[in-house]
């Protein structure tokens, strides 16, 4: 149908083009040459009239005895005017010949214009010659004046005859031009319509092909290329065809590969830090134990004789030993990659234990939830997480304030929110807060929140934060998925590809 429509419009355009060509040929071979011949005749008449008048003036000067000394110049001028007249006569003769031939070929029935022009031209030339001859002989002024009036009358009649002939040709030219303009306009419009139909159809076909095949395939190609580079994006192909199904499988694979990649990276980090922490445990724990025990012995021996200065110094040593011990525990908690020891546990019980085991200033109020929830989890590991979050919250509050804890039991998950009334976290630090070794404190390892995130992710959950007010939200499934289950799912997805 599309091809037939374009063919029909093209046929009309070709037909109109042929008609335009014929009209141009008629215009160029008939009417325009005739019009040009008439214009040349009109010009020749004007030149003859001007030359006749100028010749009479020069002859009058030649007869004047007072300017006889300029005789040579006047004779040259007379010769020039006679030459101009002969040139004008030749121009008229040539133009009239062309006009006669064209009229006989194209308008043989029309003889009136040719006869009128020929008669008046002959009368005009005869009158001009008589007038010039009489003036050259010094004839009577009245006779010359009478011939001059007859010459003017003949010139007027000749111009009327030429104008009548031009009036006959002019409508023909205008009709031909109007016909050509109409045909050109129609042909142009038809060509534009055909081109628009063709372009619109081409774009529509291209759009359909691109949308249905090329664009999804290109998107899948870019997605797989990004995945190969380690950027685990999703294609999100919409539709119900095979390409959309392939896109969904690639999205599943990308998500699972991202999880595996994070776990591999974390395992590599844990392995590196684990080696360091193992050496630290051996190199620092024993000396710290010796220092701590020695300090206790000194306290016992100097109990009665210990002044305030010595007591202050021993307290400083004790705090330093305790701080170093906590830092070692942070590192060991972060790199501890042993399997979870899950059991059915009460979340409120774990929170209460965390509150009791955390050194929280008395000026900070703790608001525990009244409800609870049960989940399969490692209670010791979760207590470490909650204790760390509570310690950070109390440090953010400083003097005075409160910490509010909420438990949300929702379908297959448990959400625990810990909110503090502190000033909040800087926006520049918010994105890096869970990165290992990142800290805003002058003391500490920067592994506390990273360790918490690692423990929660081992449970198959998430740890996130909201700002102003600061709220840390722990989400854990009531029944966690194991790493083996996720790995089997990825392998199954890859085999289906």
Long-range contacts of 55-58 (CB under 8 A, 24+ apart): 55/81, 55/82, 55/85, 55/132, 55/135, 56/131, 56/132, 56/135, 56/144, 56/148
| Whole-number pLDDT of residue 139 | 78
Residue 14: per-residue pLDDT: 53
HSE (CB half, 13 Å, CA atoms) of 497? Answer: 15
Q: Can you tell me the distance from the alpha carbon of 422 to that of 428, in angstroms, rounded to the nearest whole number?
A: 17
What is the structure's pLDDT at 483? 44
Q: Which CA distances in Å does 413 have to 106, 256, 466, 475?
A: 102, 20, 19, 7
Give the pLDDT score at 67. 53
Beta strand 462-466 pairing with 471-477: antiparallel
Answer yes or no: are the C-beta atoms of 464 and 480 closer than 8 Å: no
- Domain locations in the chain? 2-199, 232-337+483-497, 341-479
Dihedral over alpha carbons 3, 7, 8, 13 (to 10 degrees): 140
Q: Which residues contact 3 (CB under 8 A, 6 or more apart)?
A: none
- Please list the rounded mean pLDDT of every run of 10 residues in the chain (497 residues): 53 54 48 84 89 82 60 77 88 89 80 86 90 82 86 90 84 71 73 79 76 72 78 75 75 78 69 64 70 77 71 74 65 63 93 89 90 93 91 83 93 94 82 74 69 88 90 92 52 50
What per-residue confidence (pLDDT) applies to 104? 84
Amino acid 379: pLDDT? 92
What CATH number does domain 2-199 carry, 1.20.120.1730, 2.60.120.280, 1.10.3720.10, 3.60.15.10? 1.20.120.1730
Instruction: Note the pLDDT of residue 413.
Output: 94
The reply to whether domains 232-337+483-497 and 341-479 share a CATH topology is no
- As its CATH architecture, domain 232-337+483-497 has Orthogonal Bundle (1.10)
> What's the CATH fold of domain 341-479?
Heat Shock Protein 90 (3.30.565)
């Amino acid at each position: 149908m599309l091809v037939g429509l374009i063919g029909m419009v093209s046929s009309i355009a070709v037909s109109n083009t042929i008609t335009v060509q014929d009209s141009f040929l008629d215009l160029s071979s008939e009417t325009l040459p005739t019009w040009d011949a008439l214009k040349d005749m009109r010009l020749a008449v004007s030149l003859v009239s001007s030359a006749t008048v100028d010749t009479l003036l020069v002859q009058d000067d030649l007869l004047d005895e007072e300017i006889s000394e300029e005789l040579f110049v006047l004779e040259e001028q007379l010769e020039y005017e006679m030459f101009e007249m002969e040139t004008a006569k030749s121009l008229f003769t040539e133009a009239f010949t062309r006009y006669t031939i064209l009229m006989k070929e194209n308008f043989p029935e029309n003889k009136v214009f040719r006869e009128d022009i020929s008669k008046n031209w002959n009368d005009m030339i005869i009158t001009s010659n008589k007038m010039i001859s009489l003036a050259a002989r010094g004839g009577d002024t009245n006779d010359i004046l009478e011939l001059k009036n007859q010459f003017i009358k003949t010139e007027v009649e000749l111009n009327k005859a030429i104008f009548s002939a031009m009036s006959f040709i002019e409508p023909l030219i205008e009709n031909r031009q109007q016909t050509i303009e109409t045909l050109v306009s129609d042909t142009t419009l038809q060509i534009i319509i055909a081109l628009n139909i063709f372009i619109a159809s081409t774009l529509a076909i291209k759009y359909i092909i691109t949308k249905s095949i090329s664009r999804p395939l290109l998107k899948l190609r870019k997605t797989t290329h990004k995945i190969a580079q380690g950027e685990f994006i999703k294609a999100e192909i919409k539709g119900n065809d095979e390409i959309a199904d392939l896109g969904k499988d690639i999205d599943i694979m990308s998500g699972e590969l991202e999880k595996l990649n994070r776990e591999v990276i974390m395992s590599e980090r844990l392995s590196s830090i684990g080696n360091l922490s193992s050496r630290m445990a051996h190199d620092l724990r024993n000396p710290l134990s010796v220092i701590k025990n020695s300090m206790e012995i000194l306290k016992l021996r100097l109990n009665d004789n210990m002044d305030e200065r010595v007591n202050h110094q021993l307290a400083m040593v004790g705090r330093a030993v305790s701080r170093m011990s906590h830092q070692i525990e942070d590192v060991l908690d972060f790199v501890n990659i042993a399997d979870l020891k899950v059991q059915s546990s009460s979340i409120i019980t774990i929170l209460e234990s965390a509150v009791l085991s955390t050194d929280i200033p008395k000026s900070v109020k703790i608001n525990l939830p009244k409800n609870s929830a049960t989940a399969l989890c490692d209670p010791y590991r979760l207590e470490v997480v909650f204790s760390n979050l509570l310690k950070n919250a109390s440090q953010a509050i400083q003097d005075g304030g409160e910490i509010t804890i909420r438990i949300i039991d929702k379908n297959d998950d448990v959400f625990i929110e810990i909110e503090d009334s502190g000033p909040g976290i800087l926006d520049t630090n918010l994105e890096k807060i869970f990165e290992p070794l990142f800290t805003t404190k002058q003391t500490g390892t920067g592994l506390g929140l990273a360790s918490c995130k690692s423990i929660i992710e081992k449970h198959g959950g998430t740890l996130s934060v909201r700002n102003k007010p600061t709220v840390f939200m722990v989400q854990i499934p009531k029944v966690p998925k194991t790493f083996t289950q996720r790995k089997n799912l990825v392998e199954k997805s890859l085999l289906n590809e």
